Amino acid sequence: MPNIDLHCHSTVSDGLLTPTQLVKHAAARGVDVLALTDHDDIGGLEEARRIAAEKKITLINGVEISVDWRGQTLHIVGLNIDPAHLQLVRGLSSIRDGRTVRACKIAAQLDKFGIHGSLEGAYAHAGEGRLIGRTHFARFLVQQGYAKDMKSVFKKYLVKGKPGYAPHQWAPLSDAVAWIRSSGGRAVIAHPARYKLGKDALDELLLEFLALGGEAVEVITASHTPEQSLLFARHSQRMGLLASRGSDFHGPGESYFDLGRMPELPPNCTPVWHDWNRVM
């Protein structure tokens, strides 16, 4: 059975490895099929594709889009998208612009709290003019000694109700799914258990997602406990959704799962790759 990992990040968003390093790392871990799914950016796909060809890995063009649904942030993964599709390219560019504005607000919040220089500090991690996210602020804050690790820095500073949090409006769910679909891709709800939706809200989300043309949910992801994976395997069967598997790898030392090193999909799930000829 091929080793399939359909969710990971490079330095193009908030990962620690360049697309080249990431694909080489995947090859060394025995991954056969890899989707690079940077947050709101597809700028790493071309480089990743070149190295994947060398390493005999099947590279899936992916992206992880930040979405606002009923005031809550959701992540929607797009698989097999066309990175040249204009609507998608423009949509992602507008989300990145929003990230730049939010970063200034986060820095202003931290300033008020007496933590100075965080914007420059975060950009030192992201790269000047590159996509900026909370992970880059987190790395700066840990480096400065404000928290001991990534998990605790989020808890202390970067989530709702904490000093370095700035509320933000992401793309509507309907737009994200439309961009993915119109570019030929398949839309997947990333790490669904993380949103802590009650039963009714979850059903409403899944029905709305299906109605928009969404097709899959992540069942195996670093964000899920084994119980949550089984729960979402059942939800996927119940709703007629396909099931995906991804490590959500961000880099050595920062991630729960290494590339390709996570459990298989539970039996009875229909894999999101079931009709991908190159994979089966």
- Binding site residues, ligand AMP, CB under 6 A: 14, 39, 66, 133-135, 150-151, 154, 250
Site string for Mn ion, 63-92 (x = CB under 5 A): -x----------x-----------------
Helices (H), 160-225: 173-182, 199-212
Q: Is 248 in the site for Mn ion (CB under 5 A)?
A: yes
Query: Residue type at 29?
Result: R
Nearer to ligand AMP, 10 or 27 (CB): 10
- List the single partner that 41 binds among Mn ion, ligand AMP, none, CB under 5 to 8 Å by kind: none
Positions 207 through 236 that interact with Mn ion (CB under 5 A): none
Token duo for residue 262: 């996570």
Shortest separation between residue 134's beta carbon and ligand AMP, angstroms: 4
- List the single partner that 66 binds among ligand AMP, Mn ion, none, CB under 5 to 8 Å by kind: ligand AMP
Q: Cβ-closest residue to ligand AMP? A: 133
Report CA dihedral (246, 248, 254, 259) to the nearest 10 degrees: 40
Candidate ranges 55-63, 98-106, 205-213, 247-255; the one touching Mn ion (CB under 5 A)? 247-255
**Would you tell me the crossing angle of helices 86-112 and 118-126 to the nearest 10 degrees?**
140
Please state, in angstroms and rounded to a whole number, the distance separating the CA atoms of residues 103 and 69. Answer: 21
With H, G, I as helix, E, B as strand and everything else as coil, classify residue 203: helix
Please state, in angstroms and rounded to a whole number, the distance separating the CA atoms of residues 206 and 230. Answer: 17
Query: Residue type at 182?
Result: S
**Which residues contact Mn ion (rule: CB under 5 A)?**
14, 64, 75, 190, 248
